[in-house]
Amino acid sequence: MFRLLIPAIATSLALSNFVAAWSLTDTFQGSGFLNDFSFFTGTDPTSGRVVYVSKSTAQNKGLAYVQNGNFIARVDNTTTLSSSGAGRNSIRISSNKQWGQHVSIYNILHMPHGCATWPAVWERGDNWPAGGEIDIVEGVNNQASDSVTLHTSSGCSMPASRTMTGTHTGLVCDSSKTSNAGCGVTINDGSSYGTGFNNNGGGWYAVERSSTFIKVWFWARDSSSVPSEVRNGAGSINPGNWGVPDAYFPNTNCNIDSHFGPANIIINIDLCGSWAGSAYGSSGCPGSCDSYVNSNPAAFTSAYFSFAWVKVYQ
C-alpha cells in the first residue's frame, strides 16, 4: 500500500499541516466490470426472489453489457414468472481483487428503484461477519435516500454524536446483536437514492477506510461542492479536503483494523428477500412482494445500475 504524506502547506513542516493522500491503483470502466469481477451464481443468501445468473447468461440475455462506455447491470424485465418456479434473473458481481485500507469512488449514473427492488453497492470482507461489511449504496422499494451501514462481528459500536451530515439509525454494528440491522446512517439528501438520484443523472459516492475511521460521502451530479479530484477521478486524492462526510464511523468503540479485513466490491440487485420483502408491506407497494415480481416484468425496466467508473486508491 502506498500512502504518501504531502505537505498541505508546502512551507510548513508542522505535522498538522500534512494531509494523507491516496494514489490511484485500480480503475473499473466499461468491459472492466465484465473482466475484473466474477458473477455470483449461488442461491441468494438473503432469500430474494432472484436467480443470480452467470456471466454468459447475463451477456446472452442482455442483463450485463457496456453502453456508451458505461457498464449496465439489470434485472430481467420481460419474463412473467410462475409462483412455483425460480425467481427473476438478476446480477450479483464481486471484484476479483480485495483491498484493505483504501479510498474507493463510485461514479454512478443510474440505480434500480421502485417496488420490490433492493440494489446494493458494498464492500465485504471474508468469513462474514468477521471480515466486516460496508454498505455504501443500499435501499429498498421506494426508499427516499441512501442507507450507509456497517456490519461487523462483536465488539464494534458507534457513538451517537459524530461529525457527519447524515442521521444514525443504529449504533451497534455487531450483526448478531441487531438481527443483522448493523449500524446505519441515512444520508440527508433526496438525490442520494432512487428517483431523486436518477432524475439528477446520479452522482458520486466515496468511501475512505483507514485505521481510525470509515467515512462515506455522496455528491449529486449537479452538486456545486463535488471536489474536482472526485469528479475527474484524479490520480492522487486528498479526502481531508472533502469536508464533513455524510456518514462517519470512528474507531472510538470499534477497532477498524480488527473488524474489517481485505474486502471485495460487490454490486447486486436483489428483489424482495429479507429486507425489501419484509419492508414491502409498509412501502406503499401493491399486493405481496413475490407476486409483484412474478407478474410485473415491465415494472423492472428501470431496475438497472449504470456505472461510469469505479476507482480505488491506496
Q: What is the DSSP letter of 76?
A: -
Give the footprint of ligand NAG on residues 196-215 (CB under 6 A).
none
Tell me if residue 208 is catalytic: no
CA dist., res. 140 & res. 121, Å (int):
13
Q: Rounded to an integer, what distance in angstroms lies between the CA atom of residue 176 and that of residue 178?
A: 6
Catalytic hit among 123, 133, 208, 229: 133
Taking the chain, what is the end-to-end CA distance rounded to the nearest angstrom? 6
Least separation in angstroms between CB 85 and ligand NAG: 19
Considering beta carbons, is residue 54 or 301 the nearer one to ligand NAG? 301
Check residue 298 for interaction with ligand NAG (CB under 6 A): yes
| Least distance to ligand NAG, CB of residue 276, Å | 20
Burial 148-182 (b: 16+ CB within 10 A, else e): bbbbbbeebbbeeebebbbebeeebbbbeeeeeeb
User: Segment 42-81, which members bind ligand NAG (CB under 6 A)?
Assistant: 77-78
Distance CA 249, CA 5 (A): 23
Tell me whether residue 229 is one of the annotated catalytic residues: no
For ligand NAG, give the closer residue by CB, 10 or 298.
298
Q: Side-chain half-sphere of 227: how many Cα atoms within 13 Å?
A: 19
CA 244 – CA 230 distance, rounded (Å): 15
- Binding string, residues 240-279; x marks residues near ligand NAG by CB under 6 A: ----------------------------------------
**Nearest distance in Å: CB 116, ligand NAG:** 15
Q: Are β-strands 117-125 and 133-138 bridged in parallel, bridged antiparallel, or unpaired?
A: antiparallel
Cα separation values, 312 from 66, 98, 205, 268, Å: 20, 10, 12, 19
Total residues interacting with ligand NAG, rule: CB under 6 A: 4
Query: Of 77 and 294, which has the nearer Cβ to ligand NAG?
Result: 77
Specify the residue, 120 or 303, whose C-beta has the smaller distance to ligand NAG: 303
Q: Which of residues 199 and 301 has its CB atom nearest to ligand NAG in the complex?
A: 301
Out of 123, 138, 208, 229, pick the active-site residue. Answer: 138
Q: Is the peptide bond before 227 cis (omega within 30 degrees of 0)?
A: no
175 is written with which cell numbers?
450483526
Q: Are 252 and 212 in contact (CB under 8 A)?
A: no
Closest separation in Å from C-beta 300 to ligand NAG: 8
Rounded to a whole number of angstroms, the minimum distance from the CB of residue 29 to ligand NAG is 21
Judged by the rule CB under 6 A, the positions of this chain that interact with ligand NAG are 77-78, 298, 301
Catalytic machinery residues: 133, 138
